[in-house]
Amino acid sequence: MANNETPLVIRHDKSGVCTLTLNRPRARNALSLSMIDAMIHNLSNIAEDPSARVVVIAGAGPAFCAGHDLKELKATPDPAATQILFSRCSDMMMRLVRLPQPVIAKVHGVATAAGCQLVATADLALAGNSAEFATPGVNIGLFCTTPSVAVSRSISRKKAMEMLLTGAPITAAAAETMGLINSTVPDDDLDETVDALAKLITSKSAHILSLGKKAFYEQIEKPIAESYVYASAVMAQNMLDEDCTEGISAFIEKRAPNWRA
């Protein structure tokens, strides 16, 4: 990308909160391969940046993210190139899951197809009350198979299949009821609400949040008995951590904890 070109993903850091803004507003932030690569680049840098405590994913313009760039897909008839595109997108989603920092999706407008997948992949998601969500690939003969991976892990199978088989949009209120997002707020309050949530998370131990996030995704894919064995070992190790020692001491002494980072 030339220096005079507008970045496809804009990074902004403030007080430990790193905001990544998808920046193709005229295309409703459709995920081109270049944008996906820009996200992967930013996530790689953030993963190694101790100053980044929380990551917020946002969208510029009238929409959060309208999914894959259909014009790019249509112009790429080579199956190998198409496979690369979907593989890179899956890599981006897995990087969000494996990122040490908690990830919050800040949703306005529409979040459809891979955009809905992005919401489902984030650790937390807040939406303005006018936002809409959909997996509409079935409407154009392209079933939302990769979005279904994240969506089916966020909501019930029946509701996931309803979204996938009908392609019909759902409201932010319905998305909250289904568990696709944490909560919906008035559109004008979205920025302030996300900021408050991010600030609350930054007050915790970054090390312990990273440990806990990794453990959460590890245990949730295991059978329940294996999950308890794994989780017990993680908690026993966690008890030896200096931030845990400090946190317990601070609680007993009725003071704010002094985390190591």
Residue 260 domain flag: no
| Domain coverage including residue 239 | 206-252
Based on the domain organization, do 103 and 232 belong to the same domain?
no
21 in the same domain as 43: yes
229 and 175 within one domain: no
For residues 239 and 141, membership in a common domain is answered with: no
Cα radius of gyration (the chain): 19
201-248 pLDDT, tens digit each = 999 999 999 999 999 999 999 999 999 999 999 999 999 999 999 999
User: For residue 261, is it within any domain?
Assistant: no
Judge whether 3 lies within some domain. no
Residues in a beta bridge with 57: 20, 105
Q: Is residue 2 in some structural domain?
A: no
pLDDT tens readout for residues 110-159: 999 999 999 999 999 999 999 999 999 999 999 999 999 999 999 999 99
How high is the pLDDT of residue 2?
A: 43
Q: Are residues 170 and 233 in the same domain?
A: no
Same domain, 44 and 120: yes
Which carries the bigger pLDDT value, residue 257 or residue 261? 257
Which of 202, 223, 239 is the C-terminal boundary of a domain? 202
Residue 77's pLDDT is 78
- B/e letters for 15-38, b = 16+ CB within 10 Å, e = fewer, are ebbbbbbbbbeebbbbbbbebbbb
Answer yes or no: is 247 within a domain.
yes
Q: Residue 217 belongs to a domain with what CATH number?
A: 1.10.12.10
The answer to whether residue 115 is domain-embedded is: yes
Q: Round the average pLDDT of the chain to a whole number and report it.
A: 96
What number is the average pLDDT over the span 25-32? 97
Tokens for 188, please give them.
Answer: 């004008």
User: Residue 58 in contact with residue 64, Cβ under 8 Å?
Assistant: yes
Residue type, 75: A
